Amino acid sequence: MKDPRTPWYARVLAAIIVGYAFSPIDLIPDPIPILGYLDDLVLLPLGIILLVKIIPSEVLMECRARAAASANGKRPKNWVAGSIIIAIWVGLIVLTARYIFQAIQ
């Protein structure tokens, strides 16, 4: 979106999409079964598809080429963050199993 050839309305749409994705306020509240998450599953992809269509194709191709060149076929690795996340999940599973086991007895 930093490219000066990107139209202003594409930048505004991108800001709206990101704002909606991170906003705690949804069109349909998440506690409503099924429909609460359905708006996120439908509106966000539709917004991204629309955004890709209104960005000029030469800008999009150029940015994709730059991203591919900077990645150089390597995926980012952060073993510390991954280990912390795995430890949290294992801890939650152990605590849940312990709670269930105590509730049964």
Cα separation, 30 vs 97, in Å, equals: 27
The vertex-24 CA angle with 53 and 26, nearest 5°, equals 60
Provide φ and ψ at 3, rounded to 5°.
Answer: -65, 130
Tokens describing residue 79: 């073993």
User: Same domain for 21 and 47?
Assistant: yes
Q: 83 is in which domain, residue-wise?
A: 79-105
Query: In this structure, which long-range contacts are made by residues 83-92, counting pairs with CB atoms below 8 Å and at least 24 apart in sequence?
Result: none
User: Same domain for 55 and 98?
Assistant: no
User: Same domain for 21 and 63?
Assistant: yes
User: Same domain for 59 and 37?
Assistant: yes
Q: What is the pLDDT of residues 13-48, one digit of tens each?
A: 999 999 988 887 777 777 777 777 787 888 899 999
The number of domains in the chain is: 2
User: Same domain for 92 and 46?
Assistant: no
User: Same domain for 68 and 99?
Assistant: no
User: Same domain for 104 and 54?
Assistant: no
User: Same domain for 28 and 49?
Assistant: yes
The pTM for the full model equals: 0.61
User: What pLDDT sits at residue 59?
Assistant: 93
Q: Give the model's confidence band at 60: pLDDT under 50 very low, under 70 low, under 90 confident, else very high.
A: very high
Mean pLDDT, residues 5-10:
93
Cα separation, 105 vs 87, in Å, equals: 27
User: What pLDDT sits at residue 73?
Assistant: 66
